[in-house]
Amino acid sequence: MLFHGAYLLNEHPRIISLWDDVALQKIASQPKDEDTYCLIHLPWNHGKAQKMLRKKMLFTQLRTKDVSPLMVTNSKKEDSYRRWFNIPGLQCSAYIYTDEKDYGILNIDKKYDAVYAAQLMPFKRIELAKELSKVFVLTYTPGAGKNSENDLPSFCPAMKHADYNKTWVDHIGKNRLFNQSRVGLCLSKEEGPMLASLEYMLSGLPVVSTESRGGRDEYYNKEYTLIVDDNPTAVRKGVEELIARQIDPNYVREKTIEKLNSDRTRYVEFISEYVRKHSHVILDPEELLHKLFDKPKQTFIPVDKL
């Protein structure tokens, strides 16, 4: 799901989805002839009562500005709090807006035992990969811009042996790096659904993850993912176990897309039914499904054009 804007699902009534606060504030401030239905995804874990209470208060304010907010949670824990606070919405990962055609399985040699796509931030716990000798850290420095140089050894001296990218890598380069690797790593304790976790699996990689909060494990399958203790030895042994299983990458990708499509179907059916009940407008779920997910980037509107 893209930041700095919103996805336009329908014009009349206006239905949008986003997880960008700036875009949400802009939409709320605009004059409107009719209510705007706004599906608000959660970019960070909200499986806590205090966080969900703050969202409840925000949603109450939005209703005074002709915005009908709907919360889209990433995890069962978040969704239990959403229902407890009586906030309208559903559980459905923000992954659904990822275009699986951006990733695929390439016929190239493996170079790394594991790859970790992680920004240079402490919560990513990159050091947990320090016992892996053949590892690539695909990274970026938050706020530094695409032309800046990353410095993994300075940020994490324990990983000075790892290969890493000094400059920005686009999705084509990412897919190639994933295909040069045998296992994808997810080592944070808490974040949102973690896009890289999905990207690995769409590239055919099995995944080693620590226990986490935020929803990435909702897409995990014991056949090709392994949740390990949060220490370097457990991470290394987990990688070794998945490599030894010789898991078919096509199977990993197919099962991941199957889950994506199931969630997408639930998503558009929820939208169609909710709008029908509250505005008496009939939306065809099948038509909405193709409009949103055949080419998801085409429905995205940058914040300056909202």
- pLDDT value, residue 272: 96
- Domain-by-domain residue ranges, the chain? 5-98+258-305, 100-255
Residue 14: strand pairing partners:
36
- pLDDT value, residue 2: 83
Mean pLDDT of 254-271: 98
In CATH terms, the fold of domain 100-255 is Rossmann fold (3.40.50)
Tokens for 67, please give them.
Answer: 């915005």
Query: What SS3 state is found at 235?
Result: helix
Residue 145 pLDDT grade (very low, low, confident, very high; cuts 50, 70, 90): low
- Structure-derived torsion over alpha carbons of residues 91, 93, 97, 103, reported in degrees to the nearest 10: -150
For the chain, the distance separating the N- and C-terminal CA atoms, rounded to the nearest angstrom, is 17
Residue 5: strand pairing partners:
302
* Percent of the chain predicted with pLDDT > 70: 98
pTM of the entire structure? 0.95
**Which amino acid type is present at position 163?**
D
Tokens for 59, please give them.
Answer: 């949603």
DSSP annotation string for 150-184: P-HHHH-GGGTTSEE-SS---HHHHHHHHHTEEEE
